[in-house]
Structure 1
Amino acid sequence: MAGLCLWIVESTFFSTLLFTCRNIVGYAFSNSKEVVDYVADISYLLCLSFILDGFTAVLNGVARGCGWQHIGALISVVAYYLVGAPVGVYLAFSLEWNGKGLWCGVMVGSAVQATILAFVTASINWKEQAEKARKRIVSTENGLA
């Protein structure tokens, strides 16, 4: 819950900051008006990325904390390589959305990853996880680890 609360504060703050400064941020990359305008144009996608990436980071942390790194890795592969990349390629090249299409593919991958991880996290038996953690602490204190 602490991670989710921090995610909400962080994503709200930085998304608001980026969207508010969308016409300025592009100057960090280039002095070209075309680049600055393009960054301003895709700023809403970047804001959504902050939100989705923060959420998936928290949920991936939960999976790692439970010792389920393999599940998190598998979900990442499925979400980004089997779903997000094909969607991005289709949007970028078939629909000619170019960079926006590729970014949308990444966003779709993040959304799929977040959705699957949310289901995994919701299905965790927290009492069982707490008991496993307690046993690890006791075995470490007794020098058994």
Structure 2
Amino acid sequence: MVSCSTRVSNKLGAGIPQVARVSVFAGLCLWLVESALFTTLLFTFRNIIGYTFSNSKEVVDYVAELSPLLCLSFILDSFTAVLNGVARGSGWQHIGALNNVVAYYLVGAPVGIYLAFSRELNGKGLWCGVVVGSAVQAIILTIVTASINWKEQAEKARKRIVSAENGLA
């Protein structure tokens, strides 16, 4: 999923914005297949997976109870991995960093703390905060990715390459 970053940056630097855009769609298709496969497996075996952590029935049951949240978290994290790769590959590392701060520290963490301690949901509440943070991150990155002007980004990448080459000469 993160390899999308390298592919996008290489194609933008080569001045081929159409292929960079197709690379994003390829990454999203891989995300869809991977997420469907692994969340199906996780959800199907949710009553068994807990035994990898403990033989305690209480732990196994709690893992099974958290599995839907874990599945949702897996889907969102994989999706944001692709879109973070697009942001990095487009030279927008600052957007990815700012997005992490907003999504997880300003939104996800307060929601998780509130649900865990004020609503007494404990671990489930904390995990809900992670899911909310991932959802916020996914929404922001979707908006950013959808608004990319690929030709403009390719031109900017070429200018950075030329200026770097001139600086080395």
Query: 1:123 pairs with 120, 131, 147, which one?
Result: 147
Q: Does 1:28 align with 2:58?
A: no
> Residue in 1 aligned with 2:11?
none
Which has the larger displacement, 60-69 or 133-142?
133-142
CA deviation map 1:85-144 (0-9, x unaligned) = 000000001011110000000000000011011111111101112333455667889996
Q: 1:88 aligns with which of 112, 123, 137?
A: 112
C-alpha distance after superposition, 1:49-96 (max 9, x if no partner): 110001110110000001111110001001000000000000001011
Q: Counterpart in 2 of 1:9?
A: 33
Using the TM superposition, give the Cα deviation of residue 27 of structure 1 relative to its aligned residue in structure 2, in angstroms.
0.7
> What TM-score results when the alignment is normalised by the length of structure 1?
0.92
Q: Secondary structure at the match of 2:91?
A: coil
* TM-score for the superposition, normalised by structure 2: 0.79
Alignment of 1:102 with 2:126, yes or no, is yes
* Counterpart AA for 1:89: I
Question: Alpha-carbon deviation of 1:40?
Answer: 0.5
User: Which amino acid in the other structure matches residue 151 of structure 2?
Assistant: K
- C-alpha separation in 2, matches of 1:23 and 1:61: 34
The reply on whether 1:114 has 2:138 as its aligned counterpart is yes
**Percent identity over paired residues:** 84
Structure 1 counterpart of 2:92:
68
CA distance in 2, matches of 1:127, 1:25: 47
RMSD between aligned alpha carbons?
A: 1.9
**Equivalent-residue separation in structure 2 for 1:142 and 1:62 (angstroms):** 27
* Structure 2 unaligned blocks of 5 or more: 1-24
2:76 corresponds in structure 1 to 52
Higher relative contact order (CA 8 A, sep 6+): 2
Partner of 2:120: helix, strand, or coil? Answer: coil
